Structure 1
Amino acid sequence: MELISLGINEVLSGGVIWAVILGALIGVTIGSIPGLEPAGVMAILLPLTFSMEPLFGVTLLLGVYGGAWYGGAIPAILMNTPGTPVAVLTTYDGYPMAKRGEGKKALSIAYTSSFFGGIVSVLSLVFFAPVLSQVATLFGSAEFAMLALLGMVFVVLAHNNYAIEAAAMIGLGMFLGTVGIDRSYNTQVYTLDQPFLLAGVPLVPAVIGLFAMSQAYILLSAKSGDSFKTKLEGSGHMSGVVVLLRNKVTAIRSAVLGVLMGLLPGVGEFGSQFFSYTLAQKFSKKPEEFGNGAEAGIVASETSNNAVTASVMIPLLAFGIPADALMAMLLSVFMVHNYIPGPRLFTEHPEFISGLYVSLFIMNVFVFVYLTFASKYIVNITRIRGRFIGALIFVLGFLGAYSQNYQITDALIALFFSIIGYIMKRNNIPAVPIILGLVLGPVFLDRMRQALGVSNGNFEIFLDRPIALTLLMLTVLSIGVFVVSKVRNKTAAA
């Protein structure tokens, strides 16, 4: 109870609640506009958060992150166009319901399911993050090296049909992470004698280029014409509550899957949504309804993807390991303010942790209430022309990259990565592995070097330590299962 009161006081006294509300409103707006992803807007906002109080900046970004997953259901249901990538499966049953005049009911189901998944996710963060942070006290260099390796392997395997491309991008990210000054030998590595590369490849301009400005190219190159016309039909603002209670087993199963998938780097919303939807259809008494307007389909999809939003922070807070590119952005905010994730963060800054918990609860409540009564107005956002949005993003991306250090080289780096990101998007090459390689690569290499230094170059250190050995075995097992499944699929196809 003391922890909760501390968090409430921190949120109210520091004006953090306004950051929560502002971030949530921005997130819902972003999610409602097809083609505009939260990662891009978070990348633009990232430099601004460095000058804010830590909790204020983090909750602003988390509000955008969480609000976008709620808002993504609006165009998915009314236009058959997912507002965010994770709302793809929501279109399967949401749009058929809207076509038969049940748009309001479908949105109500989506909002209620998202709220349930979001609250379960926050509760998992409250209970599991402190416990796992204590486990982190048992970690040495060998354990952190294997954890980083496991995270990178999960990122690659999570891309399934694009695993080879993802592995190549992880390698590219690791290579970029080596650029700069090697502190062990005080030598320059791949700097090309350029002073602006002495500190390494900056994360913020890279993120802005890959996710924000590259998306601007997509929007600018889209055909001009009238934007989508949407209609919100039907009745029943709170009918989603009744549907959720009717499908409570599906909701609970999907929430648990979302929480578990959030702990795995690179898996996140997509993995949880796929498994939840598949299981919901498998255990349904009317599986033929799925894809044709099944209420349980929307429940499974929206509950699972929102159950990830807070649980994905558990590896970040407990171990300092970001599970995706969005968490890598949050990590940069932590590091700027010298808030080092791990056990010490929970003991040295309890007001920050408790304030974070309360902020996430408030965000979910606010977004749920706001969307329940404001959907008919938010629908109009979907009519904004894509080219206008693209031009705005491009300008803001340049300003965001430049404002980090007020160096034109940062803006040029963002421009370089935007071209790379655009090429990757056009060829369906995943960009997230580059960022995670850039973040996790140096962790893996530095910790590996430290572990081998302690053992005088003996690799048995990874076999002699139980936790390191367990993580290594999980890595090998994951690769083995992936390879076997691929071979079986090819054999079956042949």
Structure 2
Amino acid sequence: MDLILSAIDILMRWDVALALLAGSVGGVLIGAIPGVGPAVAIAILLPATFSMDPIVGLTVLLGIYGSSMYGGAIPAILINTPGTAVNALTTYDGYPMTARGEPRRALSLAYSASFFGGIFSVICLILFAPVLAKIAPMFGSREIFMAALLGLILVVVAHRGQALIAGALACFGIFLQTIGLEPVKYTQRYTFGQDFLGSGINLIVVVLGLFAISQAFVLLTDEDEKVRMTRLRGGMFQGLRELARHPRVAGVSATFGVLMGMVPGVGEFTAQFMSYTYAQKTSKRPQDFGHGSSEGLIAAETANNAVPAAAMVPLLALGIPGEALTAMMLSVFYVHNVVPGPGLFQNDMDFVVALYLALLILNVLVLLFLLFATRSLIQVVRIPNRFLGVCILTLSFVGVYSLRNSATDCVMAAAFGILGYVLKRLSLPAVPIILGMVLGGIMEVKLRAAMARVKEPFDFIDRPVAFILFLLIIIVLAVHILRVLKDQKELKEAEWQTKSSSTSFGSLMWRRRNSFLKDHGKRVRARHSKLLRRLTDLF
């Protein structure tokens, strides 16, 4: 009880309350605008948070992180366009409700499910905090190195079908982190005699380039779409009553969100997929899923909003971010000399509980705001893409320049913006680069510290926690390799069956397959040519 009272005292400051209100309302607005998303907003705000107290800066970022998914449901349901990437599954059942004249019901149900998922997650983690305080001291340099390595591997294998390129991008991020002065003997690495590389490549410059500036390029090069909005009638409280009729789906989905949020590199997509699949398989009306099922909408929205609070566990307990947004928050800790990890739970437990209480209050504020302001809020969907692109580009360069008053940083941010733009157009992930930079630095420091006590290779895993983490790494790699081999085997079997078919139908399907592959190759080459023309136009 004393711990909670101390955390409440931290949150009673006027600047913390203002930051919480601004973050929660601003996050909803950002989420409701298709094409922006929380990563862009957090990247732009990062330089400003460095001058704030840690609790104030983190409260603003947490507000945007936790509330953007609420706002992302609005365009997903009304115009079949997810406001944030994690709201893509919301369109499956949300938009069909709108199509049959039930937009108010769909929005109200999405808000209620998101609120339940967020509250459930925070309560679980407040109750779990004392356990974390006892487990955290078991992690030394070896254990944190193994945990960071496990997180990096999970991030790579989570990109199914793109694991190789994700691994290459993660290694590129690790390489970027090594540029400049190395952390022990302070010798120059990969600077090639260039003074501007002596201080290394700033993480915030890379973040703003890959996420904010690249998204501005996308918005500037895409054409504006005419949006036809659906008029809302009636109250918005219906979803709270309807959610109470599906406690099993909501409870299981929230549990999936909490569990998946605590695993680095997994996040909202896996939690949503597992929740949606469970809800469909256990439903009495599985045929309604994808056609306006209330259970499907509850599963998707509950799971994705249960993740943000859970994602703070590896960040706070071990100093290991599981995704790009928590990696950005980690930089706020470092700027203010607040080191996440075992010491944080031992010495500043009230600070940790204050962050969780902030998330609790955030969900209440967002729900009240949306229940009364949705009719006015939906107008932000009409903002033109190119106007947004100009605003994001301007704010991004202002933020980059304010870091060190360096024009060189602006040039580097623009270069990473072009790289991010190319990655977006090729549908390749940029997150592994950021996590490679963050986790690479952690792994290097902890490995050097651990090697002072290691005489033989097996000494590295001679402690229980380190050995368990090592086994998890082996299991994850083995499962991924088996899954890849299985996919290849199934593909070969399908090709063999098609080739061996002597029926006219089989021959026809084989010819169609070859024709499809040929046409697909032409489309890929045309897309690449179009991309090159757009890059040329940028210059």
Q: In which range does the TM-score fall when normalised by the shorter chain?
A: over 0.9
1:341 and 2:348 are equivalent in the alignment: no
Q: Pick from 450, 458, 479: which aligns with 1:481?
A: 479
Deviation at 1:353, TM superposition (A): 2.4
For the aligned residues, what is the CA RMSD?
Answer: 1.4
Instruction: Give 2:533's aligned residue.
Output: none
8 Å contact 2:208–2:396 — kept in the other structure?
yes
Structure 2: how far apart are the matches of 1:126 and 1:335? 24
Question: Which secondary structure does the structure 1 equivalent of 2:457 belong to?
Answer: coil
Structure 2: how far apart are the matches of 1:447 and 1:486? 32
8 Å contact 2:179–2:200 — kept in the other structure?
yes
Instruction: Give 1:470's aligned residue.
Output: 468
Question: Which secondary structure does the structure 2 equivalent of 1:313 belong to?
Answer: helix
Instruction: Give 2:72's aligned residue.
Output: 72
TM, length-normalised to structure 2 = 0.89
Deviation at 1:429, TM superposition (A): 1.1
Instruction: Give 1:158's aligned residue.
Output: 158
Instruction: Give 1:35's aligned residue.
Output: 35
Structure 2: how far apart are the matches of 1:263 and 1:57? 22
Instruction: Give 2:373's aligned residue.
Output: 374
Question: Which secondary structure does the structure 2 equivalent of 1:97 belong to?
Answer: helix
Structure 1: how far apart are the matches of 2:250 and 2:193? 56
Structure 2: how far apart are the matches of 1:435 and 1:199? 18
Instruction: Give 2:201's aligned residue.
Output: 201
1:421 and 2:432 are equivalent in the alignment: no
> Judging changes above 3 Å, is the alpha-carbon distance between structure 1 residues 183 and 342 closer, same or farther for their aligned structure 2 residues?
closer
> Judging changes above 3 Å, is the alpha-carbon distance between structure 1 residues 130 and 441 closer, same or farther for their aligned structure 2 residues?
farther
Range 375-384 or range 12-21, more displaced: 12-21
Instruction: Give 1:409's aligned residue.
Output: 408
1:286 and 2:285 are equivalent in the alignment: yes
Instruction: Give 1:135's aligned residue.
Output: 135
1:323-362 matches, within 5 Å, as 323-362=322-361
1:257-296 matches, within 5 Å, as 257-296=256-295
> Judging changes above 3 Å, is the alpha-carbon distance between structure 1 residues 388 and 241 closer, same or farther for their aligned structure 2 residues?
same
Deviation at 1:351, TM superposition (A): 4.1
For 2:489, give the aligned amino acid. Answer: T
Instruction: Give 1:492's aligned residue.
Output: 490
For 1:119, give the aligned amino acid. Answer: I
Deviation at 1:171, TM superposition (A): 0.5
Question: Which secondary structure does the structure 2 equivalent of 1:148 belong to?
Answer: helix
Structure 1: how far apart are the matches of 2:135 and 2:179? 32
How many residues of Structure 1 are paired with residues of Structure 2 in the alignment? 492
Instruction: Give 1:26's aligned residue.
Output: 26
8 Å contact 1:104–1:232 — kept in the other structure?
no
Structure 2: how far apart are the matches of 1:354 and 1:249? 28
8 Å contact 2:94–2:292 — kept in the other structure?
yes
1:99-138 matches, within 5 Å, as 99-138=99-138
For 1:326, give the aligned amino acid. Answer: L
Deviation at 1:191, TM superposition (A): 1.3
Deviation at 1:130, TM superposition (A): 4.1
> Judging changes above 3 Å, is the alpha-carbon distance between structure 1 residues 208 and 202 closer, same or farther for their aligned structure 2 residues?
same
Structure 2: how far apart are the matches of 1:141 and 1:92? 45
Deviation at 1:341, TM superposition (A): 1.0
Structure 2: how far apart are the matches of 1:284 and 1:429? 35
Structure 1: how far apart are the matches of 2:287 and 2:273? 17
Structure 2: how far apart are the matches of 1:15 and 1:452? 44
Structure 2: how far apart are the matches of 1:233 and 1:54? 40
Structure 2: how far apart are the matches of 1:481 and 1:442? 27
Deviation at 1:323, TM superposition (A): 0.9
- Percent pairwise identity: 48
8 Å contact 2:309–2:356 — kept in the other structure?
no
Deviation at 1:233, TM superposition (A): 3.5
Structure 2: how far apart are the matches of 1:50 and 1:130? 29
8 Å contact 1:255–1:307 — kept in the other structure?
yes
Choose 1 or 2 for highest CA Rg: 2
Higher RCO (C-alpha under 8 Å, 6+ residues apart):
1
8 Å contact 1:105–1:236 — kept in the other structure?
no
- Which ranges of structure 2 fall in alignment gaps of 5 or more residues? 494-539
Structure 1: how far apart are the matches of 2:38 and 2:82? 13
> Judging changes above 3 Å, is the alpha-carbon distance between structure 1 residues 27 and 169 closer, same or farther for their aligned structure 2 residues?
same
8 Å contact 2:319–2:340 — kept in the other structure?
yes
Deviation at 1:45, TM superposition (A): 0.2
Structure 1: how far apart are the matches of 2:346 and 2:445? 26
Range 87-96 or range 443-452, more displaced: 443-452
> Judging changes above 3 Å, is the alpha-carbon distance between structure 1 residues 253 and 352 closer, same or farther for their aligned structure 2 residues?
same
Alpha-carbon deviations, 1:322-370, whole Å to 9, x = none? 1111111111111111111123223433442232222111110000011
Deviation at 1:24, TM superposition (A): 1.1
Deviation at 1:37, TM superposition (A): 1.4
Instruction: Give 2:457's aligned residue.
Output: 459
Structure 2: how far apart are the matches of 1:427 and 1:344? 42
Structure 2: how far apart are the matches of 1:58 and 1:211? 19
Deviation at 1:464, TM superposition (A): 1.7
Deviation at 1:121, TM superposition (A): 1.4
Deviation at 1:196, TM superposition (A): 2.7
For 2:466, give the aligned amino acid. Answer: A
Deviation at 1:381, TM superposition (A): 0.5
For 1:186, give the aligned amino acid. Answer: Y
Structure 1: how far apart are the matches of 2:346 and 2:457? 34
Structure 2: how far apart are the matches of 1:83 and 1:130? 36
Structure 1: how far apart are the matches of 2:345 and 2:182? 31
> Judging changes above 3 Å, is the alpha-carbon distance between structure 1 residues 255 and 198 closer, same or farther for their aligned structure 2 residues?
same
For 2:256, give the aligned amino acid. Answer: L
